[in-house]
Structure 1
Amino acid sequence: MNTDVIIAGAGPVGLFLACELALAQCSVLILEKEAQPDSPLKQLPFGIRGLSSPTITALYHRGMLHQLELHKHMKQPHSIPGQPPKKPAGHFAGITLNYEDIDTSQWPYQLPGAPDFGMMSEMHELETVLTKRAIEMGVQIHRGLPITGFTQHQDGVTVQAGDQTFTTNWLVGCDGSRSVVRKQGGFEFAGTEPEFTGYSCKVVLQDPEKLRPGRNVMPTGMYFQSQPGYLLLQDFDGGAFHSSDKPVTVAYLQTLLRRIAETDVTISSLEVATTWTDRARQATAYRNGRVLLAGDAAHIHSPLGGQGLNLGIGDAMNLGWKLAATIHGTAPAGLLDTYFTERHPIGAKVLDWSRAQVAIMQATPASRALNAIFRDLINTRDGATYFAGRIWGIHNRYDLGDSHPLVGRIVPDFEFEDGTRLGELMQDGKGVLLDFTANSQFKSIAAGYNGRLLHTGKAAIDRLGLSVILVRPDGIVAWAGEPATFQELPEVIFRWFGNIEHEEVPLTGN
């Protein structure tokens, strides 16, 4: 049986992409190398990830945000009388920024009642929610079946997985930093080599009081203790230990911890450990014929700041509707190519964000001097607001060739006068023509797209001074205008949604 799309990898990115494609009525098969979805590392505190504003909105737009439990512990930044004056909101290179220092009025399109700026979620919980959703939507997931090779031809891709062969129209590699799809698909993976080896581990400490809690930047590295026994370490060895594939033993870890922490702390036993680096690489193309990349298969960097998961979910949200339209034959020319032109610059910025953090964490006089300057900047209101905006993805914007400040950004969650919100209209994965003028001609144009473009003429409580907004299925504003510019709208709709399927109604602007 031929499948529309085979996805390599059942992590959050592969699962989210599968849900997007299934929502658009595409058949999807996921091939996952691991036999079981659970990993001990996902159950630990360092299995918790910060979700940025674009990721939170993506989950909200698809009706899954309420299913996450842990996110309830982080709310929008605000001052709380009677509580300590500073509330941590994230970090840059270990330098804490605080909610109370952030000026959210600098983000004018965040409406009251919108999803939170930043939340936390367990990897295990997120994957569980996405897996349940994918299965409910008809996605097939085969575990313990890694892709070992594939052959691309004019009409599709033949995929080998173990002793089985599958055929598909499209193959998407969401199979992580060591992606088989990327390696065998002819993709160049350019970037920089690592400065350190990172360690995530759970241990039993004989004398945990000898380690300070929180993040501690030391002359020979960094250690972070979230609670007794849960440790993150950074050793600036150029990534040598990670590359050696040597096992992390109790004796080795204790020697390393004592050197970095500068104390004779004793590790009684080691439960689980993994290593990682700050290697920063990015595919120079995200598509080769009928093979595409997303998530860590397309870009890798250090996990500092928790940007990787969010970057991958953004890839999936951007790619899903474009690939589905291509499969159904409704995509205008070049639509699928915009996946790369929009997402590659976002990925490049995240890689540089990671490199910048590493540069000011090293134990050199120059790094310490830079660290002090960054600390001063982050402790200012404008500085904290800038860094929060970068960490939470508030500044993300695609260059769509339109100077309007909202175009290329995630659409605000408008509240309508009947009490509903725009986010509720996004759950079917359709485009939305948001028409505060209730123009019957706009409704007729949307009807011509046979359900692919929804029209709403509801009045909003606060429409931010706008009259009409075209929203893509991924929640990105494609056009925002006033009556004087309405004649531009049909051309913009065609750019993203292709030819009208019913008889077009001329737009007069009246």
Structure 2
Amino acid sequence: MTENHEVVISGAGPNGLMLACELALAGITPVVLDALPAASDEPKANGLVGQVVRMLDMRGLYSAFTGQDRPQALPGWMFSGMQLAYPDPSSSPMYAMMMPQPRLVRLLEKRARDLGVDLRWGHELTGLQPDEDGVALSVATPDGVYELSAGYLVGADGGRSLVRKRVGIDFPGTTSETVARLAQVEVPDELRAPDGGLNIPGVGHIPFGHNRFDRGMVLAGSLQPGVLLVGTREEGRADEDGPLTLVELRASLQRILGVDVPLEEPRGPGPHAKRRIDGQNTRQAEHYRAGRVLLLGDAAHVHSAMGGPGLNLGLQDAVNLGWKLAADVNGWAPPGLLDSYETERHPVGRRVMMHSMAQSALMASGPEVAELRTLFTELIAIPEVSQHLGRLLAGSDVRYDVGDDHPLSGYLVPDLTLDDGRPVAGLLHNARPVLLELCGGAAAAAAEGWAHRVDIVEAQLTGGPAALLIRPDGCVAWAADDFEAIDAKELQAALGRWFGTAG
């Protein structure tokens, strides 16, 4: 007998699990399939940077995952290994939450199960047949094959996505002529630098992060006590086959630095990161949607990890898609709402590809690149340039076309605190839209027909707008500084555009 489900997600990585949680908050119980028998311990990303940290705070997850109250803006970040500085925290666009990806997956897995998500480890999607009403799926398990029927299928199944390939969505892009090597290692104590980098005799200090040399790039960083992450990138392609060894990584370091750096296997329980990337792919799906099939995360875009954009991009995809897909399944989505997932997020993915490739280009060898970096160092000392690059890396420069021209509309809602001490982020924990009524009741009266679908919160905000309409993904859909009769009509138009007809 075929199981019938409203939404099936292929892939239980961070993006697939985050989408599952978003759907569950909206009353949809998705099925999540993953071929692995359990969550992987393989070290991948080491944290989250950018606007996604604020989005986690909007779901109450930043505090739950870190034990800290609210995310704090960073004093700086890096662009291709060059330091961006923000001495004034109020001007910093960058946030970070350092956490190994296996821990993040386990926290999201627990949240998903607590929300009632049907998570199936060891269940591999092996076939799919979409039609205009849904998608027929074949799933393989150690005990055999079974069939599923899904109203929607979301491919969160990585850069080699079976879902993307089976529905015929092109994945254009480029593959660089480079080889990157990365491993967690032990080094002698005298080589460790206080900033998490390395002090190498004959070379000097190699700071935390990405460092360019004439013959390649060296990555150094201590993100876990006692374990150092060391990586290299060289032009050309790898001659070696099989898994990366420390002998190979050590030889790469010697070619780049001109000295031998002793490396040992890390002590303590593993697994420990050890991988080679022979040719960096930068690719983006031509479309994020094909009828009843949607793509998410690496299935939709792959790029260099330089600057840490991966989870910032993928998890924001999930939060953008979740409420729109739920609205469609629940039957109240206005026309075009689900299509806006692609129209909003595809340009953002393209922008991330642009800046990740630009950072990689600035790491290339050659005297011309060295001089270009000298020029960039001068440019990023200009506060406006540093701010622009920081907003680019954080994704805070993203503005969606929401049909409203207020300066706040289309952007992620600012990190505001109401006069009674409540943070606006706390109003979004349930992933419902919020009308922030700050003008004494006029906006609430205009929105009365949507009160079953939109949380109307009356409050005060000194020096702020008169009203804000905030989508579940934190995007400001409409705002007004004064509330006149024309504003009531514009608010109702925005409510209809994003949240359907009045009840």
The bucket for the TM-score relative to the shorter chain is 0.7 to 0.9
1:3 Cα deviation from its structure 2 partner: 1.3
Q: Counterpart in 2 of 1:81?
A: none
Q: Counterpart in 2 of 1:117?
A: 95
Residues in 1 aligned to 2:431 and 2:89: alpha-carbon distance in whole angstroms: 32
Deviations 1:2-58 (A, max 9, x none): 11111111111111100000000012111112222132425xxxx422321x21221
Q: Does residue 50 in structure 1 map to residue 37 in structure 2?
A: no
Residues in 1 aligned to 2:387 and 2:138: alpha-carbon distance in whole angstroms: 49
Matches within 5 A, 1:345-384: 345-384=347-386
Deviations 1:43-102 (A, max 9, x none): xxxx422321x2122111111110222878984346xxxxxxxxxx221111122332x6
CA gap 1:404/1:249 in 2 versus in 1, 3 angstroms: same
Q: Does residue 65 in structure 1 map to residue 62 in structure 2?
A: yes
Matches within 5 A, 1:78-89: 89=76
1:159 Cα deviation from its structure 2 partner: 1.4
1:491 Cα deviation from its structure 2 partner: 1.4
Residue pair 1:206, 1:265 contacting (<8 A) in 2 also: no
Q: Counterpart in 2 of 1:167?
A: 149
1:457 Cα deviation from its structure 2 partner: 2.2
Residues in 1 aligned to 2:320 and 2:241: alpha-carbon distance in whole angstroms: 35
AA aligned to 2:103 is: E
Matches within 5 A, 1:333-352: 333-352=335-354
CA gap 1:406/1:272 in 2 versus in 1, 3 angstroms: closer
Residue pair 1:438, 1:457 contacting (<8 A) in 2 also: yes
Residues in 2 aligned to 1:71 and 1:388: alpha-carbon distance in whole angstroms: 24
Residues in 1 aligned to 2:445 and 2:162: alpha-carbon distance in whole angstroms: 47
1:386 Cα deviation from its structure 2 partner: 1.9
AA aligned to 1:175 is: D
Residues in 1 aligned to 2:309 and 2:122: alpha-carbon distance in whole angstroms: 28
CA gap 1:121/1:154 in 2 versus in 1, 3 angstroms: same
Residue pair 1:213, 1:226 contacting (<8 A) in 2 also: no
Q: 1:412 aligns with which of 411, 414, 418?
A: 414
Residues in 1 aligned to 2:452 and 2:176: alpha-carbon distance in whole angstroms: 49
Provide the identity percentage: 35
Q: Does residue 140 in structure 1 map to residue 127 in structure 2?
A: no
Number of equivalent positions: 471
Q: Counterpart in 1 of 2:297?
A: 295
Residue pair 2:324, 2:333 contacting (<8 A) in 1 also: yes
CA gap 1:75/1:499 in 2 versus in 1, 3 angstroms: closer
Deviations 1:369-404 (A, max 9, x none): 211111111223222222222222221211224332
1:424 Cα deviation from its structure 2 partner: 2.1
Residue pair 2:250, 2:262 contacting (<8 A) in 1 also: yes
Q: Counterpart in 2 of 1:458?
A: 459
- Single out whichever of 319-328 and 194-203 deviates more from structure 2: 194-203
Deviations 1:185-224 (A, max 9, x none): 2111111222422222023447973744434312221112
Residues in 1 aligned to 2:215 and 2:71: alpha-carbon distance in whole angstroms: 33
CA gap 1:434/1:253 in 2 versus in 1, 3 angstroms: same
AA aligned to 1:50 is: L
AA aligned to 2:159 is: S
CA gap 1:208/1:29 in 2 versus in 1, 3 angstroms: farther
Residues in 2 aligned to 1:498 and 1:76: alpha-carbon distance in whole angstroms: 36
Residues in 1 aligned to 2:13 and 2:28: alpha-carbon distance in whole angstroms: 19
Residues in 2 aligned to 1:420 and 1:272: alpha-carbon distance in whole angstroms: 41
Q: 1:433 aligns with which of 419, 432, 435?
A: 435
Give the alignment's TM-score, normalised by structure 1: 0.86
Q: Counterpart in 2 of 1:468?
A: 467
Residues in 2 aligned to 1:284 and 1:71: alpha-carbon distance in whole angstroms: 39
Deviations 1:423-474 (A, max 9, x none): 222112111111211225x4345442352111122222442xx112211111
Q: Does residue 226 in structure 1 map to residue 230 in structure 2?
A: no
1:351 Cα deviation from its structure 2 partner: 0.2
- Single out whichever of 332-341 and 390-399 deviates more from structure 2: 390-399
Residues in 1 aligned to 2:361 and 2:68: alpha-carbon distance in whole angstroms: 31
Residue pair 2:8, 2:32 contacting (<8 A) in 1 also: yes
CA gap 1:295/1:269 in 2 versus in 1, 3 angstroms: same
Residue pair 1:8, 1:147 contacting (<8 A) in 2 also: yes
Cα RMSD between the aligned structures? 2.5
Residues in 1 aligned to 2:483 and 2:69: alpha-carbon distance in whole angstroms: 41
Residues in 2 aligned to 1:389 and 1:443: alpha-carbon distance in whole angstroms: 33
Q: Does residue 97 in structure 1 map to residue 84 in structure 2?
A: yes
Q: Counterpart in 1 of 2:479?
A: 480
Residues in 2 aligned to 1:336 and 1:321: alpha-carbon distance in whole angstroms: 9
Q: Counterpart in 2 of 1:8?
A: 10
Tell me the secondary structure at the aligned position of residue 413 of structure 2.
coil
Tell me the secondary structure at the aligned position of residue 238 of structure 2.
helix
AA aligned to 2:99 is: S
Residue pair 1:195, 1:279 contacting (<8 A) in 2 also: no
Which segments of 5 or more consecutive residues in structure 1 lack a partner in the other structure?
Answer: 79-88, 108-115, 502-510
1:411 Cα deviation from its structure 2 partner: 1.4
CA gap 1:15/1:196 in 2 versus in 1, 3 angstroms: same
CA gap 1:77/1:289 in 2 versus in 1, 3 angstroms: closer
Q: Counterpart in 2 of 1:216?
A: 211
Q: Does residue 262 in structure 1 map to residue 258 in structure 2?
A: yes
Residues in 2 aligned to 1:59 and 1:23: alpha-carbon distance in whole angstroms: 14
AA aligned to 1:407 is: S
Residues in 2 aligned to 1:364 and 1:71: alpha-carbon distance in whole angstroms: 44
1:104 Cα deviation from its structure 2 partner: 4.0
Q: Counterpart in 2 of 1:38?
A: 40
Q: 2:173 aligns with which of 191, 206, 209?
A: 191
Q: Counterpart in 2 of 1:153?
A: 131
CA gap 1:365/1:399 in 2 versus in 1, 3 angstroms: farther
Residues in 2 aligned to 1:319 and 1:122: alpha-carbon distance in whole angstroms: 25
Residues in 2 aligned to 1:216 and 1:455: alpha-carbon distance in whole angstroms: 50
Tell me the secondary structure at the aligned position of residue 222 of structure 1.
strand
Q: Does residue 492 in structure 1 map to residue 474 in structure 2?
A: no
1:308 Cα deviation from its structure 2 partner: 0.8
AA aligned to 1:467 is: A
Q: Counterpart in 1 of 2:195?
A: none
Tell me the secondary structure at the aligned position of residue 197 of structure 1.
strand
Deviations 1:471-495 (A, max 9, x none): 1111111111233431222112111
Tell me the secondary structure at the aligned position of residue 68 of structure 1.
helix
Residue pair 2:74, 2:89 contacting (<8 A) in 1 also: no
Residues in 1 aligned to 2:327 and 2:211: alpha-carbon distance in whole angstroms: 49
Residues in 2 aligned to 1:366 and 1:203: alpha-carbon distance in whole angstroms: 33
- Single out whichever of 393-402 and 245-254 deviates more from structure 2: 245-254
Tell me the secondary structure at the aligned position of residue 347 of structure 1.
helix
Tell me the secondary structure at the aligned position of residue 189 of structure 1.
coil
Residue pair 1:282, 1:300 contacting (<8 A) in 2 also: yes
AA aligned to 2:161 is: S
